[in-house]
Amino acid sequence: MEKLENFLLEIVDCTAYVTINRPDKLNALNRATLIELAGLLKRLRSDDQVRGVVLTGAGEKAFVAGADIAEFSGLSEDQAHELAAWGHQEVMDVLYSFPKPVIAAVNGFALGGGLELAMACHVRVASSQAKLGLPEVSLGLIPGYGGTQRLPQLVGRGKALEMIMTGDMITADEALTWGLVNYVVAADSLIPTCLELLAKMYKRSSSAIALAVEVVNIGLAHSDNGYHAEINAFGKAFSTPDFEEGVSAFLEKRKPNF
């Protein structure tokens, strides 16, 4: 276990456990935490030992209870613009396009920037006591780390606008019904469920998974271009060693060794 300023990092076999470790602040995202997370993502992306990531929060109360609002006080319009742009480019968009599976283990409150962080991950597994929401309108703000774009993609325009315009929290079960999370489980099953999902993914081609993330994101961002990107990536997959191994294993009636 490696203890950093705002994180705990543990790599077991090929899974990196990244825990936001500010329980006294309900793991709120301040600038220092985001900077540290940006560095961790770069490190894990280039670490060939790591094939997947579980992202969670320390303690039992919160995944991430939002941004550190104290840092917002006194920001000018230009400074706020720069803050949001940096967070997008260095953290949220990096997570969203990460070439290795990233699962958010939502162990409690996921509010504001915390929910945006979870939505940037590929898959979300929530504990039954989790509460999720985007309360920014109660501060005279809107979500600034991708929430206005990613939430409608997951739950549809109507439900997204309801959540954003009321600022209300929803339960884990409601989040599951709406498609905001993939699974809801008991707290003690949260990490095991994430690991079960990753275990399935580790049996598949890592290069194909990276391509799939890329083209799914292109299709969502530029729907007209998504089909062309899929065709190009499908062709590109044929030139990879994983494709050769996958087809060989299928023809030889054995499990592939990716």
Point out the residues that are catalytic.
Answer: 116, 136
What token pair was written down for 180?
A: 């905001």
Closest CA to 38 of 123, 145, 181: 145
Quick check: helix, strand or coil at residue 121? coil
Burial of residue 214 (number of CB atoms within 10 Å: 0-12, 13-18, 19+): middle
Rounded distance between C-alpha atoms, residue 191 and residue 127, angstroms = 10
CA distance 97 to 216: 10
Cα–Cα distances in angstroms (integers) from residue 154 to residues 29, 123, 176, in the given order = 23, 11, 11
CA distance 193 to 201: 13
Counting Cβ atoms within 10 Å, is residue 5 exposed (0-12), middle (13-18) or buried (19+)? exposed
CA-closest candidate to residue 130, choices 187, 54, 179: 187
